[in-house]
Chains A and B, each alone.
Chain A
Amino acid sequence: MNNFRTLVFTSIYFLVTTSAFAQDSTGLKTSVSVDIAGEFSADKESDAKDKIGPRSVDVIFYAPVDHIFDGVLALAAHDEAGVSMFELHEAYIGSSKIIPNLSFKLGQYFLGIGRLNHYHRHEWPFITAPEVHARFFGDEGVNDSGLEISYLVPLPFYLDITIGATNGFVYGHAHDEGTKPITPMYYSHIKFFESIGELDIQPGITLLKRHSSLGQKMSLYGFDLTGKVKKGKTLVFLWQSELWQRILEFEGSTKQEISTGFYMYPQMGLTNGLEFGVRVDYLTVNTLKDATGNSVDNSEAALVPTLSFRPSEFSLLRASYKQKRSQTDGEDNVDSKTFEFQATYNLGAHPSHAF
């Protein structure tokens, strides 16, 4: 299967780079993004792998399919145990030309929920996923196959409503096709936008529900807030934050597991492409009890100062120092410190950036 994927990927690569495609008049654009990342222990508690190398390679093809539809194909290669594994990240057809104010995607895509989940990892303003994101959505984000519709409500102020329903056979890291859930996974995201002087802010609210074939019900509630001040090509100020609560329930049981977490990331633009930010992560299982029924206070917290150098919109160098603390009632705190590094670059076209 891996060889087949490699063959498909290699074939597409060569097809695209032949002269016939190079002179393509169909509007096909190809974007290659390489994300190189490394982590190194700064103390003995760190579980860093102490290595650096290509973390992922994203190849995105996008073009109008015809006068109505647009198509996107995103392939990604990741290093898994020393082997490059190619997988399909996104493959969808969409349009914003059929019904006024409405667009849709049909196929496989990253769900339009929260803030980070809209973006490929190499576009994030930090190197690794916040604790809450890694726990609830995995290291990269949640993608699935289905239909997503977004509607720009015709009001005097900006209000965008997105709803989607996907297969829900799998969620998070899965190694097979999963099993049919009791109900498809469904979600919605509502976002607003406002400018206050030079500051642009975009708050959003998310709801996601999944009812797996094994009777597990998951409900995710989120609030995301992004704020920016941009002058020319300099991002003078960025605020990015998400607050999430997850509720896990099981059929036949009255017990719930409720977890709450957030991250906040303020960042300042310095001079000549330099940006500095500090991310604060926090995650707790609100309902954690020991076997005798006593509540167990617990938390995972992290402080991640991050320095980025962005010579252009097509390249980036970044370093951060992650200090993580795991606390559980009755146990010693576990502190770990890790140095993280990242370099990303983009070859070819690049899809234009949303807010």
Chain B
Amino acid sequence: MRFKLLMILLLFNTANLADAEINVVTTTSNAAALIKEIGGKQVNVTSLTKGSQDPHYVEAKPSYMMMVSKADLLVSIGLDLEIGWLPSLLKGARNSQVVAGAKGSLVLGDFIEPLEKIEGNISREHGDVHPFGNPHFLLDPMRTAALSHVVAKKLGELDPTNRDVFNQNAVEFASRLKELTDIWKKQIKESGVKEIFTYHKTLVYFLERMHVHSVGSIEPKPGVPPTPGHILGLIKVAKKLGIRLTLVENYFETTAAERIARDVEGMQVKSVPVSVEGAEGITYLVDLYKALVAAVSKSSKGR
């Protein structure tokens, strides 16, 4: 009798463990959205940053330390995106499970071949550069699709009983993204937009995927606010090359872009979300990609 009771208890507890969510903390809302797509009901995901926040400049708040201290898995972007705040946060969290190299650490940037990797002599005179590559790769739906398998693998390591669920979710999500990407590329091609301005270099991966080229940034150097001289230079470029669209990440002011638009006939300035939950209606990654595609494809035709 006692043995049967014990077995029932053990089974109950095992079932509970199998049903226990993996507590995941991510550094960005885009990473959180990816984890949710793959982890489904098996994960409880929290993003340290809101969609409306610039992830380069985040305060290492004690409340974040608390969240990380309870995490089973910490997912970060890497490529030095979080270099200014994550080490301090990890130190304060005191959770050895999620430190770099630990089982509960997943750095997404380690699994892609980044764009804009800088070779040669670099220094701070070049602005806030990311020498190991541009970290905004989750704005490329196909790289996101590839990373979904990486995420599935990591979740499977932490929760082997649901490994198949994670893998299936990854396959389905990746497949869906591929189908949609083909549609989006066609939409942008039909719009005729080939060259635009951007504020920062956040959209590099998205634009590369959609075969659109950013020929100028409002920031003269990454992280450096625009100067009047630089704005005048961009006006000249816009007129010469027929640029008619500037996309500004919605955590930046549009003032400088609007100044250019005043002098360039037909120039449109669009404030765009670059993170999930960075604007109303952007709840999933697909929503985010759709919004970016619409911002490009529904603008006036340019070169």
Asked whether any CB of A lies within 8 Å of a CB of B in the complex, the reply is yes
Distance in Å from the Cβ of A29 to the closest Cβ of chain B? 10
Q: List 25 A-B contacts (CB under 8 A).
A: A96-B95, A100-B94, A101-B95, A103-B91, A150-B94, A152-B69, A152-B92, A158-B63, A160-B62, A191-B62, A193-B63, A230-B57, A232-B57, A232-B251, A233-B56, A272-B225, A312-B128, A312-B223, A352-B83, A352-B89, A353-B84, A354-B60, A354-B88, A354-B92, A355-B60
Which chain A residue has the least Cβ–Cβ distance from B90?
A96
Across the interface, do A355 and B225 meet the contact criterion of CB distance under 8 Å?
A: no
Q: Is the CB of B94 within 8 A of A352?
A: no
Q: State which residues 144-180 of A face B: CB under 8 Å.
A: 150, 152, 154, 157-158, 160
Chain B residues within an 8 Å CB radius of A150: 94
Q: How distant is A251 from chain B, measured CB to nearest CB, in Å? A: 40
B187 CB-CB contact with A under 8 Å: no
Residue of B nearest to A350 (CB): B84
Give chain B's interface residues, CB within 8 Å of chain A.
53-54, 56-57, 59-63, 65-66, 69-70, 83-96, 99, 101, 124, 128, 223, 225, 251
Smallest Cβ-Cβ distance to A67: which chain B residue: B101
Tell me, in angstroms, the Cα distance from A354 to B90 when the chains sit together: 11
4 A-B pairs with least C-beta separation:
A193-B62, A97-B96, A233-B57, A352-B88
Contacts of B124 in A (CB 8 A): 312, 314
**Residue numbers in B under 8 Å from A101 (CB-CB):** 69, 94-95
Closest A residue to B70 by beta carbon equals: A154
Partner of B61, one of A96, A102, A232, A355: A355
A313 pairs with B225, CB closer than 8 A: no
**CB-defined contacts of B93 to chain A, threshold 8 Å:** 96, 152
Q: Is the CB of A100 within 8 A of B96?
A: yes
- CB-CB under 8 A from B53, the residues of chain A are 232
**Size range of the chain A interface in the assembly:** 20 to 34
Residue numbers in A under 8 Å from B101 (CB-CB): 67
Tell me the bound Cα distance from A233 to B128 in angstroms. 12
Question: Is A200 interfacial (CB 8 A cutoff)?
Answer: yes
Could you tell me the distance between the alpha carbons of A155 and B174 in the complex, rounded to whole angstroms?
Answer: 39
* A352 and B96 form a contact (CB under 8 A): no
Which among B53, B86, B91 has the highest number of chain A CB atoms within 10 Å? Answer: B91
> In the assembled complex, which residues on chain B have CB atoms less than 8 Å from the CB atom of A312?
124, 128, 223
Knowing A101-B69, A152-B93, the reply to whether A352 touches B59 (Cβ < 8 A) is: no
- Complex: chain A residue closest to B65, CB-CB: A152
Residues A200 and B61 in contact, CB atoms below 8 Å apart: yes
Q: Which residue of A lies closest to B251 (CB)?
A: A232
B residues in contact with A330, CB < 8 Å: none
Docked-complex contact B66 and A233, CB < 8 angstroms: no
Which chain A residue shows the least CB distance to B67? A158
A82 contacts partner chain B, Cβ-Cβ < 8 Å: no
Contact A100 B251, CB 8 Å, known A152-B66, A355-B60 = no
Known A-B contacts: A191-B62, A228-B59, A354-B60. Give 9 more (CB < 8 A).
Answer: A96-B96, A103-B91, A152-B92, A152-B94, A158-B63, A160-B92, A232-B251, A313-B84, A352-B87
Nearest A residue to B128 via CB reads A312
A232 & B54 in contact (Cβ 8 Å cutoff):
yes
Q: Which residues of B contact A200 (CB under 8 A)?
A: 59, 61, 63
User: At the interface, yes or no: A7 with Cβ under 8 Å from chain B?
Assistant: no
Chain B residues near A293: list those with CB within 8 A: none
Chain B nearest CB, measured from A84 CB (Å): 26
Name B's interface SS.
loop
Interface residues of A in 82-98 (CB under 8 A from B): 96-98
Name the A residues within 8 Å of B128 (CB-CB): 312
With A102-B94, A103-B94, A200-B59 known as contacts, the answer to whether A154 contacts B69 (CB < 8 A) is yes
Interface residues of A in 107-153 (CB under 8 A from B): 150, 152
What is the CB-to-nearest-CB distance from B131 to chain A, in angstroms, rounded to a whole number? 12
* Chain B residues with CB under 8 A of A355: 59-62
The verdict on A351 contacting chain B, using a C-beta distance below 8 Å, is yes
Q: How far is the CB of A27 from chain B (nearest CB, A)?
A: 9
- A41 CB-CB contact with B under 8 Å: no
State whether the Cβ of A328 lies closer than 8 Å to any Cβ in chain B: no
Q: Which residue of A lies closest to B85 (CB)?
A: A352
CA distance A355 to B61 in the complex (A): 6
Chain A residue contacts of B86, Cβ below 8 A: 352
Chain A 52-108 residues near chain B, CB threshold 8 A: 67, 96-98, 100-103
Shortest A72–chain B CB gap in Å is 11
Give CA–CA (A354, B99) in the complex, Å.
17
Point out the residues of chain B lying under 8 angstroms from A193, CB to CB.
61-63, 66
Give the residue name and chain of the B residue nearest to A155 (CB).
B66
Is A327's beta carbon under 8 Å from chain B? no
Q: How far is the CA of A354 from the CA of B85 in the complex (A)?
A: 7
- Asked if A336 is at the interface of the complex by the 8 Å CB criterion, the answer is no
Which residues of the partner chain A approach B92 to less than 8 Å between Cβ atoms? 103, 152, 160, 354
CB distance from B187 to the nearest CB of A (A): 32
A22 to B75, CA, bound (A): 29
The complex places the Cα of A67 from the Cα of B60 at a distance, in Å, of 23
Asked whether any CB of chain B lies closer than 8 Å to the CB of A299, the reply is no
A333 within 8 A of partner (CB): no
- In the complex, what's the smallest C-beta–C-beta distance from A119 to chain B, in angstroms? 12
Chain A residue contacts of B251, Cβ below 8 A: 232
B84 / chain A contacts, CB cutoff of 8 Å: 313, 352-353
Tell me the chain A residues, 261-282 only, with Cβ under 8 Å from chain B: 272
Question: Judging by beta carbons under 8 Å apart, are A158 and B59 in contact?
Answer: no
> For residue B85, which residues in chain A have a CB less than 8 angstroms away from its CB?
352-353
Q: B65 contacts A100, CB within 8 Å?
A: no
How near does chain A come to B249, taking the closest CB pair, in angstroms? 11
CB distance from B61 to the nearest CB of A (A): 6
CA distance A202 to B59 in the complex (A): 13
A62 to B53, CA, bound (A): 29
Docked CA distance A191–B92 (Å) = 12
The yes or no answer to A195 lying at the interface (CB within 8 A) is yes
Residues of chain A within 8 A (CB-CB) of B62 are 158, 160, 191, 193, 202, 355
| CB-based contact B69/A352 at 8 Å | no
